[in-house]
Every structure is written in C-alpha cells, then in structure tokens.
Amino acid sequence: MAATNGSLLGRRAELAIVDAALEDLGARRGAVLAFSGEGGIGKTRLLDELGSRADAAGALVLGGRASELERELPFGVWEDALAEHAEFLGVDRLERLVGDQLPELAAVLPTVGHVPAGLQDERYRTHRAVRALLEALAQQRPIVIVLDDLHWADDASLELVAHLLRRPPRGRVALALAFRPAPVRPLLATALATAERDGSVIEHSLGALSFADAETLLGAEIPGPVRGEIYEAGGGNPFFLQQLARQHAAGRAVAAEPAGAGVPRAVARSLEQEVAALSAAGRLLAQGAAVAGDPVDLDLASAAADLSEAETLDALDELLAGALLAGTDVPRRYRFRHPLVRLAIYESAADGWRIAAHARAAASLTARGGSLAARAHHLERCARPGDDEALEVLIEAGRHAAARAPATAADRFGAALRLIPETPETMPRRLELLVGLAQALAATGRLEAALSALDDGLALVGPELAPVRARLVAGCAMCENLLGRHAAAHARLLSALDELGEAAWAAADLEVELAADALYDSDFAGVRAWAQRALKTAGSIDAAPFAAVAVALECFGAIGLGEIADAQALRADAAARLDALDDGALAGRLDTAYYLGFAEFFCERYDDAIRHFRRGITVSRASGQGQYVIPMTIGLAHALEVRGRLAEAAEAADAAVEGARLWGNRQMLCFALTADAWVSALRGELGRARSAGAEAMALLDGLDESVLSGATRVHVAAAQLEAGEPEGCLTAMSAGGAPEFAGVEPGRRAWLYAILARAELALDRPSAAAEWVARGEAAALGLGLPYAEAAVLCARAQLDLETSASAAASSPPASAGSPPALPAALRAAELADSVGAVIQAGRARTLAGRAADDAVGLPLLERAESELGGCGAVRLRDEAARELRRRGVKTGARRRRSVAGGEGLDSLSGREREVADLVAAGHTNKEIAGELFLSEKTVESHMSRLFGKLGVRSRAGVAEAVGRERGDV
C-alpha cells in the first residue's frame, strides 16, 4: 500500500491507535494492539508503520510472522521475533536478564541450549520466562513486539500469546498482533475475548479502501477505466489492487470479476501468470524458496530447487527484480512479497517435484546440522513407510517438543505412526507412539482424540499382556472421567476386571482405579470397598505401591463416611507406606501422593499434606508424568493457605490455573480457579477473587455433576462471602447442595454451614444464621477435626456477638459479665492453633478480642493483626486493626511493615521455600538443581538469600529451621 504525506491511505483511525500506544510507552505504560482483516488488506503494512514509528521513538522493535506452510513448527512466530536479538545478547546476558528461568527460553530460542525436561501441563513456565525477558528488556528501553499472520501460528505460539494477554508484561512493553478474522483460532479467540472484556485490548478490523484512496494507490499512470476495473476485481483490497496493477503493467488484461470471498480469481490468475513468466531457473528457485520457508534461507532454497550456486544467484536476481522476493537485514535471507505469493508459487509445483524438494531440503539440513524441528517438518512431507532414518527423526522431534509444544509432538508422533509397518514385530513401537500421541493430545485438551489413540493401543495388546492392558484401560477411564462420562468409565473398568481371570497384578491396578472412580460420584462406601479389595490383592503379590495407594483411598472413603478415627489410622498407615517407597517406586503410582495429600488435608494434617504434595510434584517432574500435577498443586495451594503461607499458596494456585488452561479440561480449570478465588479473597485481592469465581461458575455450564463440580460451587461460594458478596454466596451454596450437602464429607459440611451462617449474618438475618450454626455444631460433633470445629465456633461467636450487640442497643444489660461469644472464640483459636491453621486462629482471636474488655481483648487483637498481616491476609488483618483503632490503639504502618514480609520461614518466596525443604531433606546443591530444573549457580544464590532471611550460617541451620516448624526438633 502506498503512503501519502507520511500517512497510510485510509488508515487514519488505526494510525491514531498506533500513536496512542506509543504515547503509553513514553509514559512507561504497556499496550496491546490487535488488527484483523482479510489477506492483503494491509495489516502487515500497518505493523511496518508501527515498527518504523516505534524505532524512531527509540524503542526496540522485534517482529515475527507466522507462515502458512509451517504451522506445526513450535514457537515459530516467537523464534522469528526474538532469535536474532537473543543471539546478539548472548547466553550470559540472557541469564543476567532472566536468571534461573533461562533454561525455559530454550523452547523458544534453540541457541540458548537444550529444552529442559518438564511436564506438558507446566509449559506455562516457558511463557513466564518469555514474559520475564520482555520485562527485563523493557527496563532498558521501550520494547514493541510485532506478531503478524497469527492465524497461521502453531499452538505453542498462540498459547504464549494467550498467556501474555492474560498476564501482560509489566512496564514499557507493547504487543501488536495481526490476524485474519475468520476463522479465528480458538486459543486466540478466547484470549482476545477475555482481554477485550477486561478492557486491556480492543480488536480493530481493517476494511477495504474507498475508491478515491484506491485511485491514489494505483496512480495516474493507470487509465481511469482500468482503475475502475481493477477496483471492482480487487474489491478495494490493497494487495489485490497492486497485484492486478502489475498484471496491467505486464500487458495482460484485467478481468472485471467480483471479489467475493478469499482470493479473487483475477488475482489468483495474475499470480499464476507472474510465476509462469519466470525463466526455468527462476521458477525452480522460487518453488525451492517456497519449500524452504519464509523467511527464505537461500542455501536451503537452492538445495530444494537442486540448482548450482551460479544458477541460484542468477535466478535470485530475477526474483528480486520482479519483487517476488525482497531482501532482509540478514545476508542470504529473503522474504516473499506476500504470503499469497509464496502459496501461489508452492502450489504451482507438481506434487512429485514438491516431495523430492522436501527430501532435498531435509538432506541439506541434516548435512549442515539443522534443527530437529526443521528436518521433521520436511520429512513429514516426503518420507515413505519403512524409512527408518526419517522415523527416528520424527520420533525424536516429537519427544523434543512434547514438554513445551505438545500439539507439535502429536503431529510428529502421528506422522511417525504412518511410517511404521503394521506387523507383530513393530507392535511395541507402535504402542509406545500411540501412548505418547495420547498424552500429547490430552495435554492440549483433545481428550476425544486421546481416547481414540488409547483405544487403538488397546487393540494391539492381547490378554497375555494383562498389566499393560490394565494401564491402558485406566488411561481410557481417566479420559472418560475428564470428559464427564463417569458411567462409561466405570463400565469400562468393570468390564476389564471381569476379563482378567488370574492376572492379580492387573487386577490390583483396576481395583485401585475403581476405588478412585467411585470418588467422582461421592460413593464413599464404594471407595472403601474397592480400596480394601485392592489392598488384599496387592498383599497377595507383595506390591507395595499398590498397597500404599489402596490405603490412601480407603482413608478417603472413611473420611467421606464420617469415620474419622478410622481415617486417621488409615492416613498414618498410608503415609508410612508412601514414605517407605523410593522415588522410582513412587513414580509408578503417583496417585498415591495425590490421594494421600488430599486425605491428609481433610484429616487436618496440613504439614504432612504439604510434604507429600511437594514430593509427588517433584517425582512427577523428574519422571515426566504430569497427570496428577495440577490437582496436587491445587491441594498444595489449599494446605499452604490454611497454614498461613498465602504468598506460596497464591503462587501454587496461579500455577494450577495456568496449567489447567493449557490442559484444556474445564473440570480441572474450575477446580484450579476455585483455589485461586479463595486464596485471592483471603489476600484481599477481591477483584481477582470475583473474576476467578465467576469464570469457574461459568465453566460449570454443560458439565456433568461430580465431586469436582460440587466442590467448585461451594468453594466459590465461600470466596464470594470473603469478597463481600453474601447473596452470591447463598445462591451458589444452594446450587452446591445446601442444606443437606449430600456427598460432602462431614468435616467440610460443618465448615460450609459455618460459611452459610456468616453469610446470613452479613445480611442481618440472625435467625437464619442460628439455624446454620446449629447444623454446623451437629455436623462437627464427635468428629475430632479441630479446624472444622473451630470454623463452627467462630460462626457461633460471631452470632453471639451480633445478638448481644443488638440486645444491648435495645436494652442495656443490668450487670456486667463475659459475653457468651468470648469462650467460643477462645476455644476456636485454641483448636485452630492445634492444627496450625494460622488464618482461622487469627480470625478467632479477632472475634475474641471484640468480645473481651480491653485488658483481655487488646493483646488478642494485636496478636491477630500481627499474625494475619504477617501471612498476607490483608482484609482480615484490617478487621483487627479497625477494632484496635475503635478502642483508641494506633495501628501505624511501622508495625505492619515489620511483619509484612513475615519472619523466618514465612519470609521465604515459594522457590526459596522449596530449596529450604530440599536442604532439610539432605539434598546437595547439585541434587536440588536437578529436582528444580535450575543451574547450580542459581541454587547457590538462593542459598545465600536463605542464610540471610533465616539468620543462619550453614545448611544445618536451614534444616534446623525447617525441622522446628514441622515439630521435628
């Protein structure tokens, strides 16, 4: 598109948006711009203008463009945008910019090194690393990231874009996106819709040029009648108009055909004729360049075209003269005039020639040490069944992509499967690939396709391999449960168990799965019965891992049935069994840590839950198994929250949400958002709490009811109360099963009644609150669960306080005495302290302080304010502070600052706490680096900070501090 007086034709509104974004950068604010429009409408030209203006303003401009024929190359558009500047910076400077996140950049920037081993559901770590890099670069000068043709971007690239739209980089970072409007890829559409709802971005659609602007673009050298024909045939699309003008200049007639949808026939014919007019060598190089990619590596294009160096250079001059290619800042690298030009050239080549050209490109990349991803891209398009060398490249490329780009891994594994002959000898290899394919598909939310791959795997495995069949059946059942097909999952497991006969090892596997399956329906008796059966089978074959998970599940069943004494004994048994397993054995049954961690949480053994969740997550990462990491991370967030470690809890909840979004499973995302809403509410981040809760509730529409959907409703209800929305709390509780809460274990049921009572009190309905308190007291009676009882006692104390206040206002008491709220609140604080429930204890002390006179109440309130402030429970801390101020006690910022960061272990960041726990477990720096995927240098930095924050001088001092918290010393 031509420019007039420094402006783009017909784009005044868009240029005003560009200028406003650059003004935001100048004011040290970020910006996001999104431009949509059909191919050729001028998106690229507008982005180029943005880049020019940003560069003139002193910003660092980094641009990338996705390519239609390389849609599966992982992080392709980001590599195009960042690789050259990253190479300029060098690895050492990159490490100074992002610290221990450097290894994660390898997924986007291959020159950094090898992609770290990791879990598919934790690929948000790479997204965070890129965001950290952008923020660090923006500290030096404003940065503008320009990403063009995102409708062709690979899934990994779009996931990163979506992450940055949800969590925009802080500081002077502008993100400019361009894409075709239909069909917008779901990943991008969802992220844009959310960002538009939040007001952080507005999509701007580029329309056709007016006839007047089109005449200016075409110029006076084209006669008036021809300009009209070109405008009608090109539909006001700038690229189409220019292409048809080229046709006229070449002496070819322009057919006045309506533009319609897609590329007008007149434009397509013009491109075909332009390619046909090339010399033989020029056409071959153009087609070789189309095979090689965009941007065009000249040497790869020459190899694909099978031309000599002299022929290549002559042909290159022809393509440059005809403007089919244009130079770049990098020697021997070129760009096509437009993606439509590349596509027309690619499609002009015969199928057989293209296959051979891709083979030549793959051979050239192999000879010069090209990347696995690039070689696999070409081999996927040319390899024949039985080509063992191509097969190995595709498999290795799939494995390489699996952790951070599972959609690409699925493509590679699928291509590899097409190359393997279906013979008995190849069965193990095909089965391995089908399982890898299923895992990659499941990681991107394609559960139907994953289930199909596992079913294909089952068809390969006969009854003589019963343990393998049992694992595949378990995988199928997991997919069905995640799809909400609980009855189908149950029937599949029962059928497989009936077919087994005497295969005890496989039977134990399926019996464990049936126990877990019963949890989805809150069938706690079924959970316990199947778990006992699995334990008996495990004992007959001396299978310690099966026994451990069976006992953990039986504990869960006992909790649900209200048999808390049995549950506590089973919990201790399961913990001893898990602790006796080495990491290799635990890796074989990671569900042990998952079920035991939650059982310990419901048994109110929070430190044990934290310890086992952390170990389960660590072993999951080390063994590359991610199926339980998100739910374990959610459990970890809840346990940390109860212990008052809110910063760590928030970090875990956020990680769980990010992982669940990438997984694409609505049930798990609901579960994660619920944790995020609850922790955010306690931290006083009420906007985030409301947003996360609303999203979780919206996601429930269309899902079958299960233990996860019920938990979502009632926990979001609790978060709504904390966020000041008692009406919403009551509504959600009703949808979640109030008043009976059938299927909810007794301890949590008592807690829910306490929440309902507080909601009614917030609405000034003490009679209704009293009914809920009575229900809570009945539910908690005899359970032996201090946290649940403390929650009900707090509700009782609050009810008594407000009832007393109301009575006093209408008729002052005749004689003084301790308000009835005080003993209930004090007992609640004592019970909460007994299980380390810091926030619940602080809430109880605030209530006790309100109920007591100054002599008793002020110390309680001061302690509550200090402890709640120290753990980050801002809103609850402020309640205590308000009561202190009401009584004339100053609560200045000085004291708050002294506790805001906490003391000792509470002052540590989430990563520092992980390091401290590993030090206490006796790990060396090298071992810690391996478990946490850090460099030893980074671990050393963490150790230095640990020593300073804990006031110790040795690893033994760190271990002692951790031991004191756990009660070990």
Distance CA 75, CA 104 (A): 12
In this prediction, residue 913 carries a pLDDT of 79
Torsion 199-205-209-210 (CA) sign: negative
- Residue 548 has, within 13 A of its CA and on its CB side, a CA count of 25
Residue carrying structure tokens 């190849």: 426
Q: How far apart are the first and last CA of the chain?
A: 75
In this prediction, residue 256 carries a pLDDT of 55
In this prediction, residue 135 carries a pLDDT of 96
Residue 809 burial (10 A CB sphere; 0-12, 13-18, 19+): exposed
Distance CA 630, CA 620 (A): 11
Listed residue (901, 898, 897, 907) closest to 946, CA to CA: 907
In this prediction, residue 892 carries a pLDDT of 54
In this prediction, residue 906 carries a pLDDT of 67
Q: Treating both helix axes as pointing N-terminal to C-terminal, what angle do 606-623 and 955-966 enclose, rounded to 10 degrees?
A: 130
Beta strands at 325-327 and 296-297: parallel, antiparallel or unpaired = unpaired
Distance CA 96, CA 89 (A): 10
Q: Would you put residue 171 in left (φ > 0), alpha (ψ -120 to 50) or beta? A: left
Residue carrying structure tokens 């967030």: 637
Question: What are the percentages of helix, strand and coil residues in the chain, rounded to 5?
Answer: 70, 5, 25
Count Cβ neighbours within 10 Å for each residue of 299-322 and write b for 16 or more, e otherwise: ebbbbbbebeeebbeebbebbeeb
Residue carrying structure tokens 């200028």: 19
Distance CA 149, CA 343 (A): 14
- Residue 118 has, within 13 A of its CA and on its CB side, a CA count of 25
E strand intervals along 113-181 = 143-148, 173-179
Distance CA 792, CA 798 (A): 10
Distance CA 640, CA 655 (A): 14
Tokens of 408: 């690409």
In this prediction, residue 253 carries a pLDDT of 73
The residue type of 207 is G
Phi, psi dihedral angles at 420 (to 5 degrees): -95, 125
Tokens of 346: 């690619």
Phi, psi dihedral angles at 335 (to 5 degrees): -125, 145
In this prediction, residue 903 carries a pLDDT of 60
Tokens of 379: 């081999």
Report CA-CA distances (Å) from 263 to 77, 255, 272, 289, 551.
24, 14, 12, 22, 64
> Which residues of the chain fall short of a pLDDT of 50?
1-6, 258-260, 814-816, 893-902, 969
pTM metric for this prediction: 0.84
Distance CA 143, CA 55 (A): 9
Torsion 540-543-548-552 (CA) sign: negative
Q: DSSP letters along 524-555, please?
A: HHHHHHHHHHHHHHHHHHT-HHHHHHHHHHHH
Give kind and range of the element (H or E) at residue 471: helix 466-482
